[in-house]
Amino acid sequence: MKQWKTRLAICLCLLLAAPTVISALPVNKLEAEAASGTSTNVYGYYTDIQVEQGMTFNMGDLFQYSQYKNNKEIKGGYLSDLSSGVSYKSSNKNVITVSSKGDITVKKTGKAVITTKYKGIPVSTTITAVKKNGLKSNKYSSLRSKAKNVAKVYGNGITPKNRYKLAQAVMTCQNARWAVTGEYISQTGFVSYYSVQTGSTHRLVAPEMIKAAKISSKLSEYAYNNNPVGTKASKNFKITSVMAKKNSDTLTIKTNKKLNDTQVFAIKYTYIKNDKKAVFDVYLKDTKTGHYYRGKAYTKQGSNQISVRMDYLKLKSNTKYQVYYMVNDKGWAQGKTFTAK
């Protein structure tokens, strides 16, 4: 999957914790793809889970894939977003059914193995179904309701009309998850236990969280792909000039393009408020000492000007500074050099 590098990805990192590789390519597939320099990986969360009778969720929302060519990722996403090439099969349809699109329905108590296959890679998930509320899922009704609302706001995708409301819904859902006391609920709605006798047990108590986690990752990726002051080079602004006065703690950066509404959202979307303004951090590197100094950058929709106020730095004359995205990372700023006058 693509690396998600925006603030929501940090704030909601628990939502997007790196998944565990649960299956490898068959040897013959590996050999066939090695000749062309391509490979495919399928990732998932758990291979053995417990659910309750009556629960529904999508199996493809629990699996992600990545395709590589010459060790470079060329494609990735959720299996549930693929229109073809994915198959699902239940070993016990009397207990659990799965549709061609991966929709799971838990019909009664018992056990079934769901086999998910993509590009010749089969992944088996053993699902044990217990009676309704046997895992005490009713205890998490408030969290489940908030997760369900994430899907409702999302609808058929992220749009200019719903993105701020969606960001709010995601944050509200996460706050509810973090507020649960006495046990940890994963980003996908599981409570995990471990014992020496039985090993790890993963109980699905909030199935609505599975889709909410997927939507949150999509929102994070949406922001990353549209952030002009991030790390995705193709979307970044370019600094045309930096103006600063000596003995001042402020500077003005001008960019090659004006900020649009989507870019404002991408910069600030964890702050929820749609006020057409964006605030973010920038860093200055003193080229003489190698020291970094943090500043707060302010800009607004329709402007190509960024005003920066440094936290603990008075700009010196005859000193060259470089603008950085983060410490040791030039990012969008590309280490633009300037001197205060």
**If the chain, 341 residues long, is cut into consecutive pieces of 10 residues, what is the mean pLDDT of each piece?**
41 38 33 64 89 97 91 90 94 98 98 94 94 96 97 97 96 95 92 79 96 96 92 85 96 96 90 87 96 97 97 94 96 95 91
CB neighbours of 275 closer than 8 A, spacing ≥ 6?
A: none
Q: How far apart are CA 177 and CA 160, in angstroms?
A: 27
- Chain mean position to CA 135: 28
Residue 35 has a pLDDT of 56
The domain limits of the chain are 7-226, 233-339
pTM confidence score: 0.84
- Domain 233-339 in the same topology as domain 7-226: yes
Q: How far apart are CA 108 and CA 89, in angstroms?
A: 17
Architecture of the structural domain at 233-339: Sandwich (2.60)
Domain 7-226 = CATH 3.30.479.10: no
Q: What are phi and psi of 146, to 5 degrees?
A: -70, -35
Residue 315 has a pLDDT of 96
CB 216 within 8 A of CB 269: no
